[in-house]
Amino acid sequence: GLSLEETSRKYPLTDFLGPFDPLVVNANTGESGWSLHASAIRALERVIRRGSGSYLVVSHGNALNAALRCVVGAQPPVRGQGLGFSLGDTGFVRARCKSDRDQWTIAELRPGE
């Protein structure tokens, strides 16, 4: 991947990025922050509807962050403001859901590298 400096140089941020603007502004395509959040919630819903069991979900950090924000009841961030989880390349979260009570437990959170 690109370093933060390379990414900032190649994909500079605009003065304002609204929640419905595409995340890659200079490409003017792609999903917005809210669209990413909605996609992650739909994926989380599909896992929950599978019923009781143990599931391994592998994804990139933005999607995992969106799913975790859903779990804790937080809204998507706007312009970097809001709740986020720094998982790193090998980070993971172990969570339990009692869907009959809509009760979540974060059993383990390892930030990775």
Predicted local confidence at residue 55, as pLDDT: 93
Predicted local confidence at residue 25, as pLDDT: 56
Q: Is 14 helix (H, G, I), strand (E, B) or coil?
A: coil
Amino acid at 17: L
In sequence order, what E strands does 1-113 have? Answer: 22-24, 29-32, 92-98, 103-110
Do the bridges between strand 92-98 and strand 103-110 make them parallel or antiparallel, or are there none, so unpaired? antiparallel
| Burial class of residue 43, CB neighbours in 10 A (0-12, 13-18, 19+) | middle
Helical residues (DSSP H) of 21-91, grouped into ranges? 33-49, 61-72
Domain boundaries in the chain?
18-110
Do the bridges between strand 22-24 and strand 103-110 make them parallel or antiparallel, or are there none, so unpaired? unpaired
Q: How far apart are CA 109 and CA 101, in angstroms?
A: 22
Predicted local confidence at residue 82, as pLDDT: 86
Q: What is the pTM of this model?
A: 0.72
Predicted local confidence at residue 75, as pLDDT: 86
Give every residue of the chain whose pLDDT is below 50, as ranges: none
